[in-house]
Structure 1
Amino acid sequence: MEFNLNHYPYHSHRRVILGKKYAVATSQHLATLAGIEMFLAGGNAVDAAVATAIALTVVEPTSNGIGSDAFAIVWDGKLHGLNASGRSPQQLNLKSYLGMEKIPQLGWLSVTVPGAVSAWYQLWNRWGKLPFEQLFTPAIRYAEQGFSLSPITAQYWQRQENIYLSLNSPEFQPFKQVFFPNDRAPKTGEIWGSLWFAETLKEIANSGTESFYRGKLAAAIANFSADTGGCLTKTDLANHQPIWCDPISTQYKQLQVWEIPPNGQGIAALMALNILEGLKIEKYARDSTESFHYQIEAMKLAFADVYSHVGDPDLMKISVNQLLDKNYAIQRQSLIEDTAITLANTGLTQGGTVYLCTADPDLMVSFIQSNYEGFGSGILIPETEISLQCRAAGFTLQEGHPNQVAPQKLPFHTIIPGFLTKDNQPLGPFGVMGAPMQPQGHLQMVVNLSDYQMNPQAALDAPRWRFLEGNKILLEKGVSSEIIAGLRKRGHNQEIASEIMFGKGQMILRHNGVLVAASESRSDGLALAY
């Protein structure tokens, strides 16, 4: 595909980074350096991706940790998908939530088996060149020596103070002691680190997945669960297996867009692109009311189906093929008018996150791991610094729903790595983190690249929209006053929000034989290539 490397229609201090052989893009500069360190040691893109993911658990704990889940797409001549999300505990069921209107995002009732550690090992075991323990070296160094907290991470940390410092039950005390010492969040420029964090990383490095899922660390997790009212057990951990899967895709004009299949929400981006394709939005300016309106409405209709039908793939009553059917997309497209849909319904009958990417001449990696919301559940295993995600909050309590909470079940998952190909050749990995913002970010990136020929950095920097519910949307501060007024006339109930609400993304694309790397201007990230 063609784009202009010198064209930057939006103000940004960043420019695309170009390299012949290797590239890394992440939301934290120290994590990017960890990936580059692996390349310089003779490693490949998978080594770099895993080392970067491990480093991010230390330098961006506000979004991910050792107790996160993870997904990945790898190109090695063909595309491979890895779903390392964990199942709900055997003892978790509807009775656990009696008297509740929804599943909480804090505490043991929000925890499923963490899968990120299994993703690191599986990816390395299949493609890695360097010793597994070497991939942990940068993260261990950051944890032992401490690192200076960067501005955006500090901002996210401080936003969590009121939530986590108000938790007084015994199960939350280890978490507060580690992440909120002296009853406050660390500030920009302060040094944060943890010797226990380093020791846990060493334990995983030396044992692969054994200690975490069946050994010393598994026992520590299970014992703390039993002591503080949780239902996560040694058996739950030992039974965990990541799933290799074929990515799913749709053709959007000249691009083939790839996502991980359900239980993830990547299918929402593909469905929205299918709906949008026939509207020919390229005839409208990128910064126009029409372009924003049609994208928002397509996303709105896709979410209506996804939230009704997507969950554990073994229990879905509607198939992926049905959801991605182009004829169905045409039916949905016919619902889009000049005014906003106030409430989108499904058209089918019932039947805190970090993203990174790496590339070398032979491999390209799209990787994402997440706590879900902020730091996650607020549960931290003492003397390990394993902070557990809150992925059970992705379930619903709705009777008969394919995503209704039940034992040993995969929850609806928000994290989605993306990948682009053209004419069966790899263009590269991309992603935008941020809960329901993720498929919306994917849609906007593809439209920016395909319909408006923007280069990767410009595509990331462009002002964004975010659909919430009903006809409610958020618009980023950089959106023009003309678009704001135009969308209001079309019936959109809108608010102007800060950049923190619109996700953080990275991208690496091949362009005329060169790697073009870009990192989100809304984060502390860094793209490097050589």
Structure 2
Amino acid sequence: MEFFQRQTYPYAVPRQATYAKKGMIATSQPLAAQAGLEILKNGGNAIDAAIATAACLTVVEPTSNGIGGDAFALVWTKGKLHGLNASGKSPKHISVEAVKGLGYEEMPKYGWIPVTVPGAPGAWGELSKKFGKLSLQEVLKPAIQYANEGFPVSPTLSKFWKKAYEVYEQQLTHEMFQEWCTTFAPKGRAPAAGEIWHSPNHGKTLQEIADSYGESFYRGELAERIHQFSKESGGFLTKDDLASYHPEWVDPIQVNYRGYSIWEIPPNGQGIIALQALNILDGFHFDEKDHVETYHKQIEAMKLAFADGEKHVSEPLFMKHAVRDLLSKEYGALRRGLIGDYALQPEAGEPALSGTVYLATADQEGNMVSFIQSNYMGFGSGLVVPGTGIALQNRGHNFSMDPSHVNVLAGGKRTYHTIIPGFMTKDNQPVGPFGVMGGFMQPQGHVQVIMNTIDFQMNPQAALDAPRWQWLKDKQIEVENRFPHHIALELGEKGHHIQVQLEPNSFGSGQIIWRNPATGVLVGGTESRTDGTIATW
């Protein structure tokens, strides 16, 4: 496996991969990574470290996730890969008719309408009970401490916080949004870089979650607070919706790509889109020196996979086509045959019937975790439950209002979900966790880092640092400002409408940890486009 050593890529920032033996935590915020490492050193395993890091991220990176968000996890332990779907359902009494009755023709971004049952606290409790070594009280200690004592805001975090505040100040004028301002803009503005921000209410809520293993959030005092806030401000969410929620253990789905198994969480997540694209690309040969042809085929495969995802993917109960049909080699070959020398307008096929945080952890026992958590669109719905610090997600914004659409809004239904953790194995042995957060960039990032790893033998850091592209719609493609200009021009000649995006964070934020099967040595990469860091032992 050359990608454990190879350091270079022609258009990459020259950074080195990180190596360790006893443990590794890779995520987007240094304090959260250190929290996970602290748990490892205190006798916890990779699962404990993942929970600690995730909880800490709700405090030290609230612009991307919160207690009131969803989570997904892929966990390798004792020779098996486990999948956890901790996304929540819509309120039982919401409907297209009810939302239209309130004057909306499309799902709004903010307020109670797009709020679904949060799954993240349930994920922490479930992972701790099933696989953890330490108590949840001990695992959440670092997050609780940062919430109570505060931490200095980083420059990247400050930038996104300021952007969110400017939007919310203009658009969220109803009194139900006041608690967001009280919690996240206590001085009437977003905190500046280097300024200490703390949230004692957040700390109290985390302690309540720790003491009850998440039960209070769904069937206790915290659930009652959420219910009362919803009832008083016109929300659909009730304590019955919360009480009926439980995270779901699922069988991960996979495709074989050049001898490696690439794993994702099954729908309602969009990981199937990354797998479809890889399934299409598996039939091509890629020359390391022919960058234009590589990018062209990647983009075309991604467009076809997204077209299928938009039409076919929802909660499995509502899907017309089974996952096995969408990921079959025969269907992949059929879609591959549509790719030519010129950019196509993507359309969904018909197979035969039959604003997010990501973290990766590993320990010396062989446990590895791929974990992703999000409120969606930054802070989410703009709603914070009074006295708790719980920022509620707006994941329901992805529901369709079209009654004929597979992802149409309905009560008690999970929506199409953007957040996806990834994992790679070979010959039934773990290679490791990977992920790229960032809305609809995520499956595109998964495809790019996996191909960088397998096809071009890059180590984790080089695979992440390589210039990225993303498909927007139709033939519109965004590329990073350091994307090679001559390649962008040649892609334009193939019919792609290329735009240069100056904001590097538009292309996702990724983390990778691979394990050398011969030595057990861990090698990791972290995101250079944000405050990415790796804590090692």
Q: TM-score range by the shorter chain?
A: over 0.9
Equivalent residue for 1:386? 390
SS, match of residue 449 in structure 1: helix
Name the aligned partner's letter for residue 3 of structure 2. F
Quick check: 1:95 aligned with 2:107? no
Q: Report if aligned partners of 1:89, 1:232 keep a CA contact under 8 Å in 2.
A: yes
Trace 1:91-130 onto structure 2 (pairs within 5 A). 91-98=93-100, 99-130=103-134
The 8 Å contact of residues 272 and 302 in structure 1, kept in 2 or not, is answered as: yes
2:255 corresponds in structure 1 to 250
CA distance in 2 between partners of 1:437 and 1:49 (Å): 23
Q: Matched residue of 1:109: which SS?
A: coil
State the alpha-carbon separation in 2 of the partners of residues 268 and 247 from structure 1. 14
Q: Is the 8 A contact 2:6 2:457 kept in 1?
A: no
CA distance in 2, matches of 1:187, 1:459: 32
Letter in 2 for 1:168: T
8 A Cα contact 1:64 1:353, kept in partner: yes
Structure 2 residue corresponding to 1:80, chosen from 79, 82, 86 = 82
Farther-moved stretch of structure 1 (152-161 vs 111-120): 152-161
Alpha-carbon distance in 1 for matches of 2:133, 2:401: 45
Quote the residue 1:28 is aligned against. 29
Q: Which secondary structure state, in structure 2, belongs to the residue aligned with residue 332 of structure 1?
A: helix
Asked whether the 8 Å contact 1:28–1:526 carries over to 2, the reply is yes
Tell me if the contact between 1:103 and 1:392 (Cα under 8 Å) persists in the aligned partners: yes
Deviations 1:304-354 (A, max 9, x none): 001101101111111001100111111111111111113433344899300
Distance 1:65 1:116 in 2: 8
Mapped pair 1:375 → 2:379: yes
- Distance in 2, matches of 1:308 and 1:351, equals 17
- For structure 1, which segment, 431-440 or 174-183, has the greater mean C-alpha deviation from structure 2 after superposition? 174-183
Counterpart of 2:51? 50
User: Which residue does 2:161 correspond to in 1?
Assistant: 157
**Cα distance in 2 between the residues matched to 1:333 and 1:11:** 29
1:233 is aligned to 238
Return the match for 2:437 from 433, 438, 446: 433
Question: What is the Cα deviation at residue 6 of structure 1?
Answer: 5.0
1:7 aligns with 2:7: yes
2:323 corresponding residue in structure 1: 320
Q: Retained in 1: the 8 A contact 2:75–2:367?
A: yes
Instruction: Within 5 Å, give how 1:223-302 maps onto structure 2.
Output: 223-281=228-286, 283-285=287-289, 288-302=291-305
The SS at the match of 1:7 is: coil
Return the alpha-carbon distance in structure 2 between the equivalents of residues 292 and 527 of structure 1: 29
TM-score, with normalisation over the residues of structure 1?
A: 0.97
Tell me the residue number matched to 2:141: 137
Residues 8 and 14 of structure 2 are in contact (CA less than 8 Å); yes or no, is this contact kept in structure 1? no
- Alignment of 1:180 with 2:217, yes or no, is no
Amino acid aligned to 2:175: P
Residue 20 (structure 2) aligns with:
19
Q: Distance in 1 between matches of 2:67 and 2:342?
A: 45
Displacement of 1:165 after TM fit? Answer: 1.1
What is the alpha-carbon root mean square deviation over aligned residues?
A: 1.4
Alpha-carbon contact 2:28-2:530 (below 8 Å) kept: yes
* 1:460 aligned residue: 464
CA distance in 2: counterparts of 1:146 and 1:229, whole angstroms: 33
Deviations along 1:413-438, one digit per CA (max 9) or x if unpaired, are 00100000011110000000001000
Rounded to whole Å, the distance in 2 between the matches of 1:4 and 1:43 is 26
Q: How does 1:396-415 map to 2 (within 5 A)?
A: 396-415=400-419
Unaligned runs of 5+ in 2: none
Per the alignment, in what secondary structure is the counterpart of residue 436 of structure 1? helix
Q: Tell me whether 1:451 sits opposite 2:452 in the alignment.
A: no
Per-residue CA distance 1:29-64 (angstroms, 9 max, x = gap): 000000000011011001100000000000000010
CA contact (8 A) 1:38 1:51 kept: yes
Which stretches of structure 1, 4 residues or more, deviate above 6 A after TM superposition? none
How do 1:336-351 and structure 2 match up within 5 A?
Answer: 336-348=339-351
* 3-state secondary structure, aligned to 2:118: coil
Q: Which amino acid aligns with 2:514?
A: L
Give runs of aligned pairs for residues 353-372 of structure 1, distance below 5 A. 353-360=356-363, 361-372=365-376
Q: What is the CA–CA distance in structure 1 between the aligned matches of 2:320 and 2:6, rounded to whole Å?
A: 48
Q: Structure 1's 474 and 101: CA in aligned 2 closer, same or farther, altered over 3 A?
A: farther
Find the counterpart in structure 1 of residue 311 from structure 2: 308
Distance, in Å, in 2 between the alignment partners of 1:295 and 1:11 is: 18
**Is 1:208 equivalent to 2:213 in the alignment?**
yes
Structure 1 unmatched runs, 5+: none
Asked whether the 8 Å contact 1:305–1:348 carries over to 2, the reply is: no
2:515 — aligned with what?
Answer: 510
Of 375-384 and 162-171, the range deviating more from structure 2: 162-171
| Deviation larger for 123-132 or 510-519 | 510-519
Give the length in aligned residue pairs: 528
Matches of 2:323 and 2:432, distance apart in 1:
23
Report if the CA contact (8 A) 2:513-2:522 is conserved: yes
SS of the residue aligned with 1:426?
strand
What amino acid sits opposite 2:334 in the alignment?
Answer: Q
**Aligned pair in 2 of structure 1 residues 74, 4: CA closer, same or farther (>3 Å)?**
closer
Select between 10-19 and 300-309 the one with higher mean Cα deviation.
10-19
CA–CA separation in structure 2 for the residues paired with 1:264 and 1:11: 30
Distance 1:61 1:351, change over 3 A: farther
- Residue aligning to 1:169: 174
Letter in structure 1 aligned against 2:280? I
Amino acid aligned to 1:344 = E
> Which letter maps to 1:86?
G
**8 Å CA contact retained: 1:45, 1:365:** yes
